[in-house]
Amino acid sequence: MTDHRLENDITTTLGIDGSNVSRGRWLKWLLGLTIVLSVLGVFLLWQASDSTNGVQYKTQEARQGGLIITVSATGNLEPTNQVDVGSELSGIIDNVLVDYNDRVEAGQILAELDTDKLRAEVLQSEAALAATEAKVKESQATVLETRLKLQRCQRLAEKKLCAQEEVDTDSAAYKRAQAEEGSTRAQVAEARAKLDADRTNLAKAAIHSPIDGVVLVRAVEPGQTVAASLQAPVLFTLAEDLTEMELHIDVDEADVGQVREGQQASFTVDAFPDQIFEAQITQVRYGAQEVEGVITYETVLQVDNTDLSLRPGMTATAEITVKQIDDALLVPNAALRFNPAAQTGKSSSQKGSLLSQLMPRPPGPGLKKAQKEITNNKGRQQVWTIRDGETVAIAVSTGTTDGIWTEITQGELQAGTALLVGSAKAGR
Q: Quickly list DSSP for 242-284.
A: TTEEEEEEEEETTTGGG--TT-EEEEEETTEEEEEEEEEEEEE
The per-residue pLDDT for 52 is: 40
Q: Are residues 106 and 215 in the same domain?
A: yes
**Which residues, given as ranges, of the chain have pLDDT below 50?**
1-3, 6-7, 10, 13-14, 16, 18, 21, 48-53, 346-375, 377-379, 426-428
CB of 296 closer than 8 Å to CB of 250: yes
- Rounded to whole angstroms, the Cα distance separating 80 from 82 reads 7
The per-residue pLDDT for 14 is: 45
**Closest alpha carbon to 192 in 130, 129, 132:** 129
**Closest alpha carbon to 407 in 61, 60, 66, 59:** 66
CB of 250 closer than 8 Å to CB of 75: yes
Q: For residue 312, what are the domain limits?
A: 71-80+239-326
The per-residue pLDDT for 148 is: 92
The per-residue pLDDT for 230 is: 72
Q: Are residues 120 and 185 in the same domain?
A: yes
Q: Are residues 222 and 100 in the same domain?
A: yes
The per-residue pLDDT for 159 is: 84
Q: Are residues 252 and 394 in the same domain?
A: no
Q: Are residues 247 and 309 in the same domain?
A: yes
The per-residue pLDDT for 316 is: 97
Total domain count, the chain: 5
CB of 351 closer than 8 Å to CB of 99: no
> 50-75, pLDDT tens digit by residue?
444 457 888 989 999 989 889 999 99
The per-residue pLDDT for 373 is: 47
CB of 53 closer than 8 Å to CB of 427: yes
- Rounded to whole angstroms, the Cα distance separating 329 from 401 reads 12
Q: Are residues 335 and 193 in the same domain?
A: no
Under 8 Å CB-to-CB from 366, ≥6 apart: which residues? 340, 389, 390, 391
**Closest alpha carbon to 90 in 169, 205, 191:** 205
The per-residue pLDDT for 233 is: 87
The per-residue pLDDT for 255 is: 93
CATH code of residue 336: 2.40.420
Strand order through the sheet with 103-104:
82-86, 234-239, 213-218, 103-104
Q: Are residues 216 and 103 in the same domain?
A: yes
The per-residue pLDDT for 425 is: 58
CATH code of residue 309: 2.40.30.170
